[in-house]
Amino acid sequence: MKAGRILLLLLCLNVVTFGVIADLPTCPASDLGSGCGDSDEWEGEFFPGIPKIKYEGPSTKNPLAFKWYNADEEILGKKMKDWMRFSVAFWHTFRGTGGDPFGAPTKNWPWEDGTNSVAMAKRRMRANFEFINKLGVDRWCFHDRDIAPDGETLEESNKNLDEVVALAKDLQGTKIRPLWGTAQLFLHPRYMHGGATSPEVGVYAYAAAQVKKAIEVTHYLGGENYVFWGGREGYQSLLNTDMGRELDHLARFLEAAVAYKKKIGYNGTLLIEPKPQEPTKHQYDWDAATSANFLRKYGLIGEFKLNIECNHATLSGHSCYHELETARLNGLLGNVDANTGDPQTGWDTDQFLTDIAEATLVMHSVVKNGGIAPGGFNFDAKLRRESTDVEDLFIAHIGGMDTLARGLRNVAKLVEDGSLPDLVRKRYKSFDTEVGALIEAGKADFEYLEKKAIEWGEPTVPSAKQELAEMLFQSVL
Ligand SMILES: [Mn+2]
């Protein structure tokens, strides 16, 4: 580490010590060569003392080991790693600062020099791949502007991105690939009214150019999916918004993305990530059903799938299981952004999943879907502001992976035991009859059904057995 960098770090520590609410000092990307963030060199490991994480089984007391996730173990006919397809989210793990609307950043990762330079972006990318390799996953996710700094112009931003992407391609080697890439269309002030749904045509064009480039680099890196998260594609007030026109624009934008993807021979799956609100009051891709209806209305249903995020599900008033099932039943279950919210908090807290019952339901949906490839489980989750040790990054991911692995093991018990699926089947057994078959085939008209109702008289209505269903579910946790 250079002396100047040490001084800079000391300065940062002072800022924090004296409680001044200030961001880390940054250097503009164009300010290279002034001694500010001019080298991506780093001596030795980024995570010294942290070994490659191994499976040690449920009885281990080692926090840096898997207790339930055993990558090559077969469960329900597939290796655990093939069911899970875990991914590290670059933005939370390497750009998360711990800052919140009330307080300054709390994370002082040793490799950060306080700049937003291309050199710093490259050093951070090296840290990312050491992290991924030590954690033992094969996938990562990124936004364009998280991995490389914005330039003064679009051309300069693209140049910065190309430089960092070339390094990422090299560091990926033959095994690691992006689970998905995306364009960040929400941070820069130009996107304050949205990207594809901005009332300003120049912003629509800029957003299109940014997505074009992001699709290109995702393709170049071998990314299996490309995500659209419309954080600002919505409205704050309907009084100043032409909702019909904005929805039409969003559809035209997505059509253009499909056309471009095909033009460059990119075969990755395009994914919409529903979220009801935050940052806008109302987002157009509110939940899975709303997104499915939008795709159907505009003839895009065959071109997109959904990336279901558990915390977004609960913000929209649903459970994650409901959203996964809605996506699955529409043939749209493409990916899971694996996180969870806080039951007492009304916003997107992006926490690592730790609830075994929730993880079991999530995995139940994925197993019923026959797996999720080419999608996977992306940890769109961040450390709490107060967790500030480098090893916390590992502990959080290990915990999330073990929780989902435990969920998968529980689903195997549910399937093998068969009592819960049997309970559900029995509830509908009256439809496994000649009349039921006619109804399900769409061949029972109202006159025919009236005849049956008179013939049968008052129906006998059996118990739903909900408490028994809950007891059977609990028995596998
Ligand atoms: Mn997400």
For the packed helices 154-172 and 201-220, what is the interaxial angle rounded to 10 degrees? 20
Rounded CA separation 467/441 (Å): 32
Rounded CA separation 117/474 (Å): 51
User: How many of the other CB atoms lie within 10 Å of CB of 101?
Assistant: 4
Rounded CA separation 218/208 (Å): 15
Q: What's the 380 CA to ligand 1 centre distance in angstroms?
A: 5
The one catalytic residue in 143, 219, 249, 364 is: 143
Residue 88 sits in the same domain as residue 142: yes
Residue 117 sits in the same domain as residue 253: yes
Residue 149 DSSP SS3: coil
Q: Tell me which residue of 160, 220, 231, 245 sits closest to 193, measured CA to CA.
A: 231
Q: What's the 28 CA to ligand 1 centre distance in angstroms?
A: 28
Last residue of a domain, one of 386, 417, 448: 417
Rounded CA separation 364/410 (Å): 9
What residues contact 166, with CB distance under 8 A and at least 6 apart?
A: none
Q: What's the 94 CA to ligand 1 centre distance in angstroms?
A: 15
Residue 315 sits in the same domain as residue 392: yes
DSSP symbol at 351 = B
For residues 196 and 230, the answer to whether their CB atoms sit within 8 Å is: yes
What residues contact 382, with CB distance under 8 A and at least 6 apart?
A: 92, 93, 96, 350, 351
Residue 151 sits in the same domain as residue 193: yes
pLDDT in tens, the chain (477 residues): 444 444 444 334 333 333 333 344 444 444 444 555 678 889 899 999 999 999 999 999 999 999 999 999 999 999 999 999 999 999 999 999 999 999 999 999 999 999 999 999 999 999 999 999 999 999 999 999 999 999 999 999 999 999 999 999 999 999 999 999 999 999 999 999 999 999 999 999 999 999 999 999 999 999 999 999 999 999 999 999 999 999 999 999 999 999 999 999 999 999 999 999 999 999 999 999 999 999 999 999 999 999 999 999 999 999 999 999 999 999 999 999 999 999 999 899 999 999 999 999 999 999 999 999 999 999 999 999 999 999 999 999 999 999 999 999 999 999 999 999 999 999 999 999 999 999 999 999 999 999 999 999 999 999 999 999 999 999 999
Residue 241: exposure state from Cβ atoms within 10 A (0-12, 13-18, ≥19): middle
Between CA 213 and CA 208, with CA 311 as vertex, the angle to 5 degrees is: 20
Residue 63 counted as domain residue: no
Q: What's the 378 CA to ligand 1 centre distance in angstroms?
A: 8
Q: What tokens appear for 103 in the block?
A: 């307080």
Residue 290 sits in the same domain as residue 320: yes
Rounded CA separation 304/228 (Å): 10
Residue 108 counted as domain residue: yes
What residues contact 243, with CB distance under 8 A and at least 6 apart?
A: 235
pTM: 0.91
Residue 254 sits in the same domain as residue 292: yes
Residue 230 sits in the same domain as residue 319: yes
Residue 315 sits in the same domain as residue 452: no
Rounded CA separation 198/336 (Å): 28
DSSP symbol at 186 = S
Q: Tell me which residue of 93, 92, 337, 94 sits closest to 225, measured CA to CA.
A: 337
Q: What's the 105 CA to ligand 1 centre distance in angstroms?
A: 21
The residue with tokens 């290990």 is: 398
Residue 215 sits in the same domain as residue 261: yes
Residue 406 sits in the same domain as residue 441: no
Q: What's the 228 CA to ligand 1 centre distance in angstroms?
A: 10
Report the pLDDT value the prediction gives residue 249, as an integer from 0 to 100: 98
Residue 454 counted as domain residue: yes
The residue with tokens 């994650």 is: 320
Q: What's the 199 CA to ligand 1 centre distance in angstroms?
A: 25
Report the pLDDT value the prediction gives residue 188, as an integer from 0 to 100: 97
User: How many of the other CB atoms lie within 10 Å of CB of 326?
Assistant: 23
What is the end-to-end Cα distance of the chain in Å, rounded? 48
Between CA 415 and CA 420, with CA 416 as vertex, the angle to 5 degrees is: 50
What residues contact 287, with CB distance under 8 A and at least 6 apart?
A: 274, 276, 312, 313, 316, 318, 323, 326
Range of the domain at 361: 68-417
Q: What's the 294 CA to ligand 1 centre distance in angstroms?
A: 20
For residues 230 and 277, the answer to whether their CB atoms sit within 8 Å is: no
Q: What's the 476 CA to ligand 1 centre distance in angstroms?
A: 29
Residue 247 counted as domain residue: yes
Rounded CA separation 84/87 (Å): 9
Residue 122 counted as domain residue: yes
Q: What's the 337 CA to ligand 1 centre distance in angstroms?
A: 5
User: How many of the other CB atoms lie within 10 Å of CB of 158?
Assistant: 20
Q: What tokens appear for 339 in the block?
A: 């996180």
Four-residue CA torsion sign, 327, 328, 334, 336:
positive
Report the pLDDT value the prediction gives residue 14, as an integer from 0 to 100: 37
Report the pLDDT value the prediction gives residue 26, as an integer from 0 to 100: 47
Report the b/e string of 79-92 with b at 16+ CB within 10 A.
Answer: ebbbbbbbbbbbbb
Residue 411 sits in the same domain as residue 453: no
What CATH code is carried by the domain that includes residue 86? 3.20.20.150
Q: Tell me which residue of 171, 151, 264, 152 sits closest to 217, measured CA to CA.
A: 264
Query: 143 an active-site residue?
Result: yes
Residue 114 counted as domain residue: yes
Four-residue CA torsion sign, 211, 213, 215, 217:
negative
For the packed helices 356-368 and 320-329, what is the interaxial angle rounded to 10 degrees? 0
What residues contact 470, with CB distance under 8 A and at least 6 apart?
A: none
Residue 207 sits in the same domain as residue 263: yes
Q: What's the 93 CA to ligand 1 centre distance in angstroms?
A: 13
Residues near ion ligand 1 (Cβ under 5 Å):
309, 337, 380
Residue 277 counted as domain residue: yes
Q: What's the 455 CA to ligand 1 centre distance in angstroms?
A: 54
* Residue 408, H or E segment: helix 390-417
Q: How many domains does the chain have?
A: 2
Residue 447 counted as domain residue: yes
- Residues in the chain, overall count: 477
Tens of pLDDT, residue by residue over 201-217, are 999 999 999 999 999 99
Report the pLDDT value the prediction gives residue 38, as an integer from 0 to 100: 75
User: How many of the other CB atoms lie within 10 Å of CB of 346?
Assistant: 10
Report the pLDDT value the prediction gives residue 36, as an integer from 0 to 100: 58
